Structure formats: structure tokens, C-alpha cells
Amino acid sequence: MALGLFPHITAAATEITLYTFPESGKAGYYPTGNLCRDKAGALYGTTFLGGAYNQGTVFRLSPPGPGQRNWSFSVLYHFHGGNDGGAPFGGVVRDASGTLYGTAFAGGVNSNGVVFKLTPPAPGHSTWTETVLHDFSYDWVLKVHDGAGPCSGLIMDASGALYGTTIGGGATSQFGTGYGTVFKLMPPGPGQTAWTETVLYYFAGGADGQSPSSGLTIDSTGALYGTTHYGGTGTCQDDRGSVVGCGTVFKLTPPRPGTTKWTKTTLHRFSGSPDGGLPAGTLRLDATGAIYGTTYEGGTSGNGTLFKLTPPGAGQTAWRKSILHSFAGPDGAGPQGGLIADLSGRLYGTASGGGNGYGVVFRLSPPTPGQTAWSEALLHVFNIVTSGDNPAYGLVADPQGKLFGTAYDGGAGLGGTIFEVSP
């Protein structure tokens, strides 16, 4: 079970902007997705635009060497926007060999996005090699139900299989864009070269949920947990102004022996204010099986929430939802990056707005003995001119408790930043 635990931060935090993206050029700009960190401390991520063909990039930011002060930035791959994909949203995951895996929202043979693999250079070479592992295909006229528009990151299980979501495709929606899917990619078996894709679930819209825009979480049994941004209940609206529901939390249970069908269970349907609405960001599981996450809207002030879902007790079937914090605006607004936790159970995340209007990094501490309320502390308030604007994605921590993340835009170059928040 991936808990994302790290030593707790014990003092006031300090922010350092490690890199500023220029709002044009081959370095890429508008960083998207959660960062991935290797054992040497290098950070890997994606940019939505920029690069040699203005279709986005995969980048690496390496820590300073002995006697140096500045981090070293390099672009590992420039997307062309054709069959190789374009506009990556979801960041990358890294396997033990250093190979990177991710999704591109656009491009591919069918122009519905791809899953890609980026292989490190062979000894004596410097070029990373991109391979498309899967091309998504969706045609609502021909009823091709594979999925379209993967905009979340991937997770990898112990066997090397990849899991993710597509925001569209699957079952045909009223607008012809599809309600979204959950998919699995199996690596090639002995003597094979092609990865095998399986759609684990097709969302049906309405009460079932639609538009899964965030990544998945996996537990020790192989069950998957995620959210749909829309669907469920409530009167939340999409960008067209249509009432599409306030989102759901779901669980996908692997097939029982001798069967092939995954079982989907809706754990919670959001209703808006004060309950929360439009869940976003990867969910976090703790050792008890409780789920933590964020909603972009809802809560007592409409600025979003941080919630907990507790598994059913003995003899019960329903999960119990509680709101740990409702954002008020000055303390943050619009959280959508998910959460990580330290060893004492304190939660850390970002809010894409609030603070001075440009977003915050926050910490939420469990109640002290005799208390019931969680307490929030702001670790950093963003400044659009210096540290950036719109920290829309999650955090990653090093063993010392330093936090790393991205701001989507702003900063000295206007194209976003990579930042560090440390004790």
C-alpha cells in the first residue's frame, strides 16, 4: 500500500524556487502532473506546451553537484504532436531501471492520446527513446469504446502493469465525448513485444460518475481507488453550464479467481456545499484503509474541502465521510493536487488558488488529545512574480521532509516554476 510517508516537518517552512520556465521556447512551459523523484534526488515531470515543436516535453531537474548551488535542468523528450503524442498532462512514473512512463492527452494514431515509454540512453549515448505503448481510440459514431484524452498520471504495480484513466471515451455521452474509462496495460510476455490494454471499467454518467480526471491509488490487494470529477449527485456544473453532478469516489475490486470482470463500487457521491464537490487529485490511503482526498469546490465557503472516508465497521456496508477542513479563501481555495502524509499523520498538499490569489502549500495536523478539529497551517503563499501561480498538482517529499512541486504558470519567466518547501 503506497502511503507516501516521510519525516514530519517541525519548524517554519522556507520556499526556494528551483527553476523558472520561460513562457516560450524549447525548455517547455506550463508544468503539469505530479513530480517523480529518483534516489539521487532528481525530479522528473512534464510540460503541457513548449519544447521544440510546442507540443510539450518530459524534463529532468537534477540537484547541484559537489561545490555547486544551482539545480541542472534538461529536456529528455520533445513531443511532436503526431503519432508520438502531445500535450502531456499527467507527469511520469519511473521503474527500477530508470525508464519513465506517462500519458499524452493528444496525438497518437487516432488523435485521442497515448501511453508512452521513455527509455534512458544506452551507455555512450545521450538520447532518450520514446515508444508509444498504446494509442487510444474513440469514435462515438462507430461506437469504439477504448477511451480518449488521458490527462492523469499512471501507477505501476509489482508486476510492471500500468493503470490509469481517460477523461473521455468509453460509453457514449450526450455530447458525444464519452464518460471516461479506467484502463490497464500489461507488459509483453515471453516472446512478445506489444503491451496489452484492457478497459477495466466504462463509466456510465449520471449516478455512476463521469470524467475521471485524476490518477488512481492501489492497495495491497490490488484494488484501485479513484474519483470522477463529475457525475453522482448534486447540481455542480461543467464548463458548458450543464448540471453534471458533483463527482464520486469509487473502488474497483479485482476479479475473483476464475472470473475476469472487475467490480466497481461507488463509495461516496458528493453533493456540493457544504459536503464538497468536484473531487480532484490522487487519493491517499492510510494503514487502516481510510481514504483522504480533496474537492475543488464545495465546503462551507465554496472554496473546496479536504475529506476522509472511513471504511465500514463490523456489520456495516456504508463508508463514513467526514470533512477535515473547508477552505475559506485566504487559507487556500481550489485544492486539486491530492495529499501526502508524514509519519505523524499530518497531511500536506497544495491549493491552486487562495492566499494572495495565487495558491498555497498547506499542512493539516490531526486533532490533539481531547480535541476533534484538525488544524491547518500555511507553509507557503505563492507570489505570481517570484514563486509562481496556480500550484494545481501534488507534492513529493525527500527523506528529510523537503517538499517539491510545481506552479502551473507565473514566476519570473511566466511559464511556471518548480519549487522546494523545506523546514
Task: Give the range of the structural domain holding residue 296, as residue numbers without chain letter.
Answer: 5-422
Give the residues of the chain that fall short of pLDDT 50.
Answer: 1-3, 10-11
Position 19 scores a pLDDT of 98
Residue 179, class by beta-carbon neighbours within 10 Å (0-12 exposed, 13-18 middle, 19+ buried)? buried
- CA angle 82/84/87 to nearest 5° reads 75
The rounded distance, in Å, linking the Cα atoms of 157 and 178 is 27
Q: Biggest alpha carbon distance in the chain?
A: 62
Position 10 scores a pLDDT of 47
Amino acid in position 156? M
Number of domains in the chain: 1
Output the nine-digit C-alpha cell for 20: 523558472
Output the nine-digit C-alpha cell for 122: 544506452
CATH classification at residue 330: 2.120.10.30
End-to-end Cα distance, the chain: 27
DSSP letter for 273, please.
Answer: T
Q: Which of 259, 310, 321, 315 is nearest to 288 (CA)?
A: 310
Could you write out the DSSP letters of every residue in 202-261?
E--SGGG-B---S--EE-TTS-EEEEESB-SSS--B-TTS-B----EEEEEEPPPTT---
The rounded distance, in Å, linking the Cα atoms of 117 and 110 is 18
Task: Give CA separation, 3 vs 74, 163, 368, in Å.
Answer: 30, 18, 22
